A = this chain, B = another copy of it.
């Protein structure tokens, strides 16, 4: 510990033994409060060289490291276990925007930069960094990359992986790999970048990244549309993609129960279309003008009405109305929280198979868990549903979860696999889904993953027992 203190300074080596019972909760407990660990120490390095020195020290003493960004992960991947033997490596002090190159449409940032600050730095240069998600005010770009975060604009701009051109990484043996390339084409060997992205800190510690930027759209506009069925929503997606091309930046879906819960807990939020079996939120980002965007929307929605794909629609008349529509969508998880504990599934499916999956899975759940309430919403454009289950009315949620969570997960994941889907669309594996992954992933893939882990972290000191 003394060498760590000499390296980082007293103030940046926090020992649980020297702090109050809850002082380090922000580092040791996950956001959903499912995992409460205890670190050997919380380390707050100031730069990449210090991170490398920490990894070398940890390696010399065979101590495990758990890297952490903003600690907003949903699968327990960034908090230490309860053993008190793991070092918590917080990247939050690595928070500089290193450079921004407008002509190359790139910026290079430290891993600990908060996503919102990255967005802001791009905006200050008149550009767009499109990664956007609920936790953007506190999550870090390093965490976003380590978990290959998704969010609300994946349809147009891709996941975090697609938004990254290069990385700086501290390897398991404490070397610094400078792969901070601003290149859009580079075929010089294996794709190390994408191996570290999404590896949840188990193969190396991301310390900086070069990110893609985009011109800012001239106008953004939101609309709501009402569909009778999820099949119609899928048809609407196809029509919107063919009519609007890359201008279509968002396509979210919400079932009746999701919006009813919002109505119940946040009655002050206007619901322009009233109760509908399915409500779709569409967003256009237009490189021309607001008038052009409105014309696009009107053309699309008229055609959808004519073809009876939708029953009703409302186009936002102002930025405030657009924001209010998004606010409805974003209030669903909060309304679920208000309603009580629930069982979440962050799943992905081929878009074409979503209606069948939902028909089948809804029916099986209704049969085996009578009265349980399905709150189904998500990024339909990306094939990503948040397919969540609330306990039956009048049943204690905690009790329901205790008794049924495993059985519910088993049923849902069986159906996900049967429909060619993924049990983790955008949240990762962490601790939460590690055992599930071992059951569900192809044995060949698991073997390849283990070979890679063994090759790059033979001592198994980087975020052990996560993912694999």
Which A residues fall within an 8 A CB radius of B? 101-106, 147-148, 150, 154, 156, 158-159, 161-162, 171, 175-179, 181-192, 194-195, 197-199, 203, 215, 217, 234, 238, 241-247, 285-287, 348-353, 379, 382-384, 420-429, 433, 437, 440-442, 444-449, 451-456, 467-468
* Complex partner residue of A437 from B103, B177, B188, B243, CB under 8 angstroms: B188
Give the copy number: 2
Expressed in whole angstroms, the minimum distance between the Cβ of A283 and any Cβ of chain B is: 14
Known: A181-B422, A187-B425, A421-B183. A101 touches B352 (CB 8 A): yes
* Complex partner residue of A187 from B176, B182, B192, B429, CB under 8 angstroms: B429
Would you mind naming 20 contact pairs between A and B with Cβ atoms under 8 Å apart?
A: A102-B238, A103-B352, A104-B350, A105-B351, A147-B187, A154-B184, A159-B185, A161-B191, A182-B350, A183-B349, A183-B350, A183-B421, A185-B379, A189-B198, A191-B194, A192-B445, A195-B195, A215-B242, A217-B245, A451-B455
* Complex partner residue of A426 from B185, B440, B445, CB under 8 angstroms: B185
A-B complex: 9 closest residue pairs judged by Cβ atoms = A245-B287, A246-B246, A455-B455, A103-B352, A194-B194, A215-B242, A185-B425, A186-B422, A104-B352
Q: How far is the CA of A348 from the CA of B444 in the complex (A)?
A: 35
Of all chain B residues, which has the CB nearest A245?
B287
* Complex partner residue of A424 from B186, B194, B247, B348, CB under 8 angstroms: B186
Known: A245-B287, A348-B183, A350-B101. A424 touches B188 (CB 8 A): yes
Q: Which residues of chain B have C-beta atoms less than 8 A from A453's C-beta?
A: 190
Q: Which residues of chain B have C-beta atoms less than 8 A from A420's C-beta?
A: 181-183
Q: Which residues of chain B have C-beta atoms less than 8 A from A441's C-beta?
A: 188-189
Of all chain B residues, which has the CB nearest A75?
B187
Q: Which residues of chain B have C-beta atoms less than 8 A from A245's C-beta?
A: 215, 217, 246-247, 285-287
Q: Does B444 lie within 8 Å of A177, measured CB to CB?
A: yes
Of all chain B residues, which has the CB nearest A190?
B449
Q: How far is the CA of A429 from the CA of B188 in the complex (A)?
A: 6
Q: Does B445 lie within 8 Å of A189, measured CB to CB?
A: yes
* Complex partner residue of A198 from B105, B187, B425, B437, CB under 8 angstroms: B187
Q: How far is the CA of A287 from the CA of B182 in the complex (A)?
A: 29
Of all chain B residues, which has the CB nearest A199?
B190
Expressed in whole angstroms, the minimum distance between the Cβ of A325 and any Cβ of chain B is: 22
Q: Does B428 lie within 8 Å of A103, measured CB to CB?
A: no
Q: How far is the CA of A184 from the CA of B199 in the complex (A)?
A: 17
Q: Does A183 lie within 8 Å of B448, measured CB to CB?
A: no
Q: Which residues of chain B have C-beta atoms less than 8 A from A156's C-beta?
A: 246
Q: Does A195 lie within 8 Å of B185, measured CB to CB?
A: no
Q: How far is the CA of A353 from the CA of B424 in the complex (A)?
A: 40
* Complex partner residue of A103 from B182, B198, B234, CB under 8 angstroms: B234
Q: How far is the CA of A447 from the CA of B97 in the complex (A)?
A: 29
Q: Which residues of chain B have C-beta atoms less than 8 A from A351's C-beta?
A: 103-105
Known: A179-B445, A448-B177. A187 touches B424 (CB 8 A): yes
